[in-house]
Structures are given as C-alpha cells and as structure tokens.
Structure 1
Amino acid sequence: MISRGRRRSFQRRVLDWYAAHGRDLPWRRTRDPYAILVSEILSHQTQIARVLPVYERLLGRYPTVTALARAPLAEVKAITDPLGYKIRGRWLHTVALRVADRPGGTFPDTLDELRSLPGIGRYTAGAVMNFAHHRDAPVLDTNVARLLRRYFSVVTTPRARTQQLWSLATAVIP
C-alpha cells in the first residue's frame, strides 16, 4: 500500500509535530483505561476546553469505575449533560456497571470487548488500546482522516475512502 520510506517519513513528521505542539492534557498523563475512556466519550464532538472541567469534576467525584457504577445515573448526567450530546452520561454509567460486573472489575483489554460496550466505537476502542494497554490499534477521527487524505492523496468515493483511511491508519501506527 505505502512504501516503508513514506510510512517512516509520515511517522517522523507526526511525532515531531506532536513533540513541538502536543497539548498537555490530564488523560495523556495516565494509563488508566477508565480515565482514558471517560476522556474519549466526553470529547466526542466537543471542544477540549469544554471537556476539561467536566472530566476533572467527574473523575474527582468518581475516581474509579466502581465508584461511577455505584453513582446514581441522575448525578452522573448532572455532570455530563452540560456538554450537550446527553447520551454520554448514560453510556459512561452503563459502561461502569458492565465493567464493575466483570471478575475483579477489570477493564476490557481487547478491541472486541471494548466495542461491545455502549457508546464505544472503533475510534474509542483504539484509543483505549493504545493509551491504556500499550497495544497497537488504529484511531481515525476527523483530524486524522484529514491528515491522511492530504498526506497520502486519498481521492475516492466516501464509502471506499473510509475503509481506505482505516487501512492507512493501521499501516502508519509507529
């Protein structure tokens, strides 16, 4: 699909850019899958400046997935609903209940297990796999897709383009 040299050049450029311009966000300083999942669900279609106080308030009040599972849904939604897209609180609460029911309350550590949880799609599962479990998995959001389209000159039908972009995202994992 892409040459080794072009792949490495892309990786180097992205990593160099991140080293110079990456933002210091609390979920980038943890390997806790719960905290990372919370950040990803809260960040969905929302500016990070709006997410930060909600993230800090939610994790301050419910620092573990078990604590969130024990919380009344109405309290969780009171924290998350001001972000809009009001299904987030329910997703987080339902995920917490499902994880708390697992043996030892362990967080899922495979893409398929993560994707079986409500509100978790391919991108969010990949983010948790990468940042919490140190396992390679592609992440493809609007920004990554735009970068891949421009760098690799992706021009095709929307349906084929989505599959091609996921393939590219997989191919360029450092």
Structure 2
Amino acid sequence: MSKYELNSAEERYQPGSEDLVLANKLGITDDEEMETLESGLLLMLYERLFIEGQPPSVLAFEHVSGWHRQWLGNVYDWAGKLRHANLAKDGFQFAAADRIPLLLDSFDKQFLSRSAELKFLVRPELVRYLAECHVEFILIHPFREGNGRLSRLLCDVLSVVAGKGLLD
C-alpha cells in the first residue's frame, strides 16, 4: 500500500517495492533501507550547514530547494524540484500542485524574507513564527518527498539565525 494517495501518472514507484519506495537512481526497493539512507544523507546535510558552514542570514526559497537537492539529489531525479502531482495523505489533500509557486511566493514573503528580523523577536514570538512557518511549509508540501524533514531543517536554520541554536 502506498504512503500517499496520488493523482498523477508521473508518480512512479520502484519496481519490486510493492509501491512503498519511490522510483530512485539507486534501485532501492526496501522502504527501511531507503529510510536509513535518507536519514544518513540528512545528517550529512546538517553537518554541512551547521558544522562545516554557516546558514545564510537572509533566506529565500532557493536555499530550501537547494537543500532538498543536496540532500536527495543522488537518490531522486526530482530532488529540489517542485512537485507536479497532487498529493493526499490519510485523506488530507495538500496544496494543489498548480498553486505551489503562488503559495511559495507568499511563504517567502511571510517567513523567509523576514529571517533577518528573527534575532529581535522575544521567545514567544519566535516560537509562534517557527510553528507557523513549519505548518505552512507542510501544508504547501512543495516536494514529492521529504517535506516534514526539510521543514524541521528550515526551522533549525531559522532558530540558528535567531541566535538560539538548533531546536530540541
């Protein structure tokens, strides 16, 4: 049984995965193996962003799509690219694929372009900002896979930009 209800012919699963693993460059068919790989690659991205480098102080969606590409680009052809299929999970419909660019423009203005202001927010304001940012990103669901984990990465980056360090 597939993880998402899909409404597009462009969505393909890896042959032999029983519709549990998206088509990938590595031929992985086991969902646990894919989860382990994706988790390890995400950890490597965290290390690049927070140990080897410094997150940008002013963000744009291009940073987020770049992180998605860095994270999953060796696994999926579509990494870093906006999804073109409508997705639903457990009966919940995410943003329609054709609305994603417009929604991301609003998301950019409401959250990312304001990232330089974060260090001036008091704790309750910052917590609210991060929570709203996380929820909005999840609702938009701009990518085929990895949106929740990428949203948590984004909130970690925003917390660091605010001078608060990584979230627990």
Same fold, TM-score > 0.5, yes or no: no
TM-score, scaled relative to structure 1: 0.31
Which structure has the larger Rg over C-alpha atoms? Answer: 1
TM-score of the superposition, structure 2-length normalised? Answer: 0.32
Q: Greater strand share, 1 or 2? A: 2
